[in-house]
Structure 1
Amino acid sequence: MIDPPTTPIPRAGRATRFGPVMVALAAGAAVSVALGLYAGLHEPTGVAVNLAGFSSFMAVKTWLTTVAVVLAIGQLLSALALFGKLPGVSGGRGVAALHRWSGRLAVAVTVPVAAHCLFALGFQTFDTRILLHSLLGCFFYGVFVCKMLVLTREDSPGWVLPTVGGAVFAAMVALWFSSAYWFFTTFGVTF
């Protein structure tokens, strides 16, 4: 019997498996559908919790989403550095820590926004922008779950993690444009 190697084999040298990727995609899809169904089937409460210093919960949601997008840009740049795609920047331990923590914070600041949207507003379809925003919110959390599951798999194809990470980033930016950008251009930059 041959002992396994003592040093990890680089991701590119490992045999790839699509089964775990398919499970991650299915889990992400299930989360997206479950959020959409819950938001669409329950009776919205219409109750908003406001934070001190803000004029409305819409302003709170706008600024939390803006913070999340800024952190997501940090995610994109640090991921590019980690994959060696950012000229002049090497992806060391500090960049990896920045990537992990900016991602954690980005998702953390979206949780109060998502909770408000789910419970107070529900899944709404009366306007194209709002329908798109509702769909994007469900998609964002589904693709985020998929990314977290793919992240732990070293035997997944090398293109999967950047693709799913890119989908998370794209969904976050699209959510910002369908909500915070709309708020800023409609009501101005207010707190």
Structure 2
Amino acid sequence: MVRFLNGITGNNLLLYKVILTSIVFALAGVQVFFAARLWDVSSFPPISAASAARVHRVSGRLAVTLGAVVALTCLAGPAGPLSPTRVLLHSIFGTAVFVILTVKFAVLKVLRSGGNALPYIGTALFLGFAGIWATTVADYVTSR
């Protein structure tokens, strides 16, 4: 699988993962802004709560889709090593993000209650994506 992925990325799989991870992290930041507007915590961006909800849903779906693509390449490739510590932390953050996403979807779609917990769940997601970004992209950039 790794050979196939390297082939379609011109042996630049890590670079593509870095780019996609940066986009996912940026979208997670967009999620925070629009969720704050949706929950009427902020007046920025200056749009209606309904528009903020729409953008939040669309950008969230895009972030989850791109995140799943990156996660697949991580799992199909060099998944599992516990050394160096950065790789272990990256695996923990990645697992945590998908657990938190599962909790969020359960609150939204299955329980249909617990809406007061959504800001905390969203914050945890953003911090998880920040952890993934810091243990991957920041390391990639500083080592080049």
TM-score normalized by the length of structure 2: 0.88
Q: Match for residue 156 of structure 1?
A: 114
How far has the Cα of 1:46 moved from its partner? 4.9
| Pairwise CA RMSD | 2.0
Q: Classify the secondary structure of the residue corresponding to 1:121.
A: coil
Counterpart AA for 2:114? S
Does the 8 A contact of 2:34 with 2:55 survive in 1?
Answer: yes
Which of 68-77 and 107-116 deviates more?
A: 107-116
Q: Mapping of 1:49-88 within 5 angstroms? A: 49-50=5-6, 56-87=12-43
Choose which of 146, 157, 169 in structure 1 pairs with 2:126.
Answer: 169
Choose which of 21, 46, 50 in structure 2 pairs with 1:93.
Answer: 50
Does the 8 A contact of 1:48 with 1:116 survive in 2?
Answer: no
Counterpart AA for 2:79? G
How far has the Cα of 1:129 moved from its partner? 0.5
Gapped regions of structure 2 (runs ≥ 5): none
Q: Assess, with a 3 A threshold, how the Cα gap between structure 1 residues 163 and 129 changes in structure 2: closer, same or farther.
A: same
Does the 8 A contact of 1:136 with 1:174 survive in 2?
Answer: yes
Does the 8 A contact of 2:20 with 2:70 survive in 1?
Answer: yes
Q: Match for residue 92 of structure 2?
A: 135
Once residues 138 and 162 of structure 1 are traced to their aligned partners in structure 2, the CA distance between those partners, rounded to angstroms, is: 20
Once residues 75 and 118 of structure 2 are traced to their aligned partners in structure 1, the CA distance between those partners, rounded to angstroms, is: 28
Once residues 104 and 87 of structure 1 are traced to their aligned partners in structure 2, the CA distance between those partners, rounded to angstroms, is: 23
Q: Assess, with a 3 A threshold, how the Cα gap between structure 1 residues 161 and 99 changes in structure 2: closer, same or farther.
A: same
Does the 8 A contact of 1:50 with 1:60 survive in 2?
Answer: no
Q: Match for residue 103 of structure 1?
A: 60
Does the 8 A contact of 2:38 with 2:53 survive in 1?
Answer: yes
Q: Classify the secondary structure of the residue corresponding to 2:5.
A: coil
Higher helix fraction: Structure 1 or Structure 2?
2
How far has the Cα of 1:122 moved from its partner? 1.7
Does the 8 A contact of 2:89 with 2:135 survive in 1?
Answer: yes
Q: Assess, with a 3 A threshold, how the Cα gap between structure 1 residues 86 and 157 changes in structure 2: closer, same or farther.
A: closer
Q: Assess, with a 3 A threshold, how the Cα gap between structure 1 residues 147 and 78 changes in structure 2: closer, same or farther.
A: same
Once residues 100 and 173 of structure 1 are traced to their aligned partners in structure 2, the CA distance between those partners, rounded to angstroms, is: 20
Identity across the alignment (%): 27
TM-score normalized by the length of structure 1: 0.68
Once residues 173 and 84 of structure 1 are traced to their aligned partners in structure 2, the CA distance between those partners, rounded to angstroms, is: 24
Gapped regions of structure 1 (runs ≥ 5): 1-44
Q: Match for residue 14 of structure 1?
A: none
Which of 83-92 and 169-178 deviates more?
A: 83-92
Once residues 51 and 85 of structure 1 are traced to their aligned partners in structure 2, the CA distance between those partners, rounded to angstroms, is: 46
Q: How many residues align?
A: 142
